[in-house]
Amino acid sequence: LIKTHLEEYNESKTEDFIDVYLHKHLKSKDGSSSFTGAEGIANLRTSLVDLFQAGTETTSTTLVWSLLFMTKDLQIQEKLQEEVDRIIGPHR
């Protein structure tokens, strides 16, 4: 993923976190900066892993708790079913 972003890097087109990070990485001239050299790419890799894991954990925990609360409240279940039927249809 990082390699692809490096190959397709366009300074005037930053679309995501990796692009913004690479912009700083490629422009940094400070040898002591955590953005420069191999350390900069390693730090990017670590940041991406952290973001992915944090997002995954937060999402799964939220879903588990939401389902738990829905099992305890009949009104929420009915409202959710109405919305599913309205958006997806009752025969799916």
Enclosing domain of residue 62: 2-87
Close Cβ partners of 37 (under 8 Å, ≥ 6 residues apart): 31
Structural domain includes residue 20 = yes
Residue 45's pLDDT is 92
Structural domain includes residue 36 = yes
Cβ(44)–Cβ(18) below 8 Å:
yes
| Domain count along the chain | 1
The answer to whether the pTM exceeds 0.75 is no
Structural domain includes residue 92 = no
Cβ(14)–Cβ(20) below 8 Å:
yes
Q: Flag whether pLDDT at 55 surpasses 90.
A: no
Residue 53's pLDDT is 85
